[in-house]
Amino acid sequence: MRQPLMVNAFDPAMAGDLDASTQVLLARRQRVLGPSYKLFYEVPLHLVRAEGMYMYDAQGNRYLDVYNNVPSIGHCHPHVVEAIARQAATLNTHTRYLHELILTYAERLLATFPPALSNIMFTCTGSETSDLALRVARNFTGNTGVIVTETAYHGITSAVSEVSPSLGRGVPLGAHVRTVPAPDALRSPDGDVGGAFAASVEAAIADLQRHGVGVASLLVDTIFSSDGVYADPAGFLAPSVDIIHRAGGVFIADEVQPGFGRLGESMWGFERHGLVPDLVILGKPMGNGLPIAGLIARPELLRDFALKSRYFNTFGGNPVSCAAALAVLEVIEREGLVENARVVGRYMRDALESMSAKHERIGAVRGAGFFIGVDLVEARDSLEPAPGFATRVVNALARRRVLIGASGPRGHVLKIRPPLPFSRAHADTFLAALDEALIETRDAVD
């Protein structure tokens, strides 16, 4: 069953239980933004500033951020703020003029990728980049078929929403789209994650071809974040990529969430699988939240596309956004944030796995670096997902001023994804709060 993307949304029917000032803000929001925008948590947060690992509400309360990947190097990092201000005071324009900064940043960024991935096309958002990736793949292969996972999220444009099942039943998948189950080792009958995933990809290819649709691409988020966070065993994606190539398609790695060192072992999630993708999607974490994104590509995929398709993105790769993005790369390197994600992320995973001995509703802990999923179940013998329990735990943490999210097909997986400078002391604060939240929620339910 496909569920809406937001599994921890505020219920507007509960607005009457909130304080008067919050009700006024909600009414203003509803009046001008309409019904599509959703809010997190049972009690919405009115945040007014942020710094480092923390965000602050209108009353001055401090919240530990264990969720936001977009401010990847921490909120309002001074090196990024200074770079933005300096460039904004100098020049901001589009890419139809020569400018050294965009070239310097492109060279520095591409140096973090395998040599075969030597071109970048700049956009402003991950959704735009996903849309562009689909266009390039379709042009290169001459086919339209796309294979994604069952709870994937890749963006919100018209074309990309057709390959984003997590948006829910009200957003139909394209006729050219096939879904495959997530690589769930916990519920896999034989434990062969790579083999099972590859078999599903093969079946999807066969079904597309049976309906006269050629295969253009396999598109996956390399940490499977919306599906419930699946990282291991490293390398399990390789057989599926071989299969898609043999079928004439290309492999598109969505690195918006796992990229920029978040997984702690390397700069990019696909590297854990020993792969070199054909296309790589990047999003707003590259600018610490400023609108900059991009498509990394093998140059052979772009040659014919450039001949046939007029493409221009007015503010994709503008100097101010490039200044922010370059500053992000510099901070990641200078502060050793990839190694920090590995060391502190491992510490958190070990602690969570130890915690599972105390809390029987923890079915599994999985992930890599600073991307961890805690699979909550009704009982370990059945492994039945526990979405209601997960939602209550997320909100119990919010009451303790610790922010996380949830993912998975039923919203039963705690999604733990802090900014990259997250320290062991921050981790200890989070772990203590989670232990308390699990006890509170268990006692309330049981």
The whole-angstrom separation of Cα 102 and Cα 95 is 8
Looking at the structure, tell me whether residues 311 and 399 fall in a common domain. no
Looking at the structure, tell me whether residues 125 and 259 fall in a common domain. yes
**pLDDT-above-90 percentage for the chain:** 83
Range of the domain at 180: 78-334
Looking at the structure, tell me whether residues 330 and 367 fall in a common domain. no
pLDDT reported for residue 6: 57
Q: Is residue 426 part of a domain?
A: yes
pLDDT reported for residue 16: 76
pLDDT reported for residue 1: 38
CATH code, 282:
3.40.640.10
CATH code, 435:
3.90.1150.10
The whole-angstrom separation of Cα 174 and Cα 160 is 9
Q: Are 254 and 219 in contact (CB under 8 A)?
A: yes
Q: Are 179 and 205 in contact (CB under 8 A)?
A: no
Domain tally, the chain? 2
Closest by CA to 317, choosing from 154, 104, 115, is 104
In sequence order, which residues have a C-beta less than 8 Å from that of residue 6 and are 6 or more positions away?
38, 40
The whole-model pTM stands at 0.94
The identity of residue 115, as a single letter, is P
Q: Would the pLDDT of 446 be above 80?
A: no
pLDDT reported for residue 268: 98
Q: Would the pLDDT of 8 be above 80?
A: no
Angle between helices 126-141 and 299-308 (to 10 degrees): 90
Q: Would the pLDDT of 118 be above 60?
A: yes
Q: Is residue 116 part of a domain?
A: yes
pLDDT reported for residue 19: 85
Count of alpha carbons within 13 Å of 188, Cβ hemisphere only?
Answer: 20
**pLDDT-above-70 percentage for the chain:** 98
Residue where a domain terminates, one of 334, 365, 388: 334
Cβ burial 136-170 (10 Å sphere, 16+ → b, else e): bbbbbbebbbbbbbbbbbbbbbebbbbbbbbbeee
pLDDT reported for residue 21: 86
Structure tokens at 391: 């939602």
User: What average pLDDT does the chain have?
Assistant: 94
Quick one: average pLDDT of 356-383? 95
Quick one: average pLDDT of 362-381? 95
Q: Are 231 and 270 in contact (CB under 8 A)?
A: no
**202 burial type by CB count under 10 A (0-12 exposed, 13-18 middle, 19+ buried):** middle
Residue where a domain terminates, one of 288, 305, 334: 334
Q: Is residue 107 part of a domain?
A: yes
The whole-angstrom separation of Cα 408 and Cα 395 is 17
The identity of residue 369, as a single letter, is G
Looking at the structure, tell me whether residues 365 and 441 fall in a common domain. yes
Q: Is residue 35 part of a domain?
A: no
Q: Is residue 38 part of a domain?
A: no
In sequence order, which residues have a C-beta less than 8 Å from that of residue 428 and are 6 or more positions away?
none
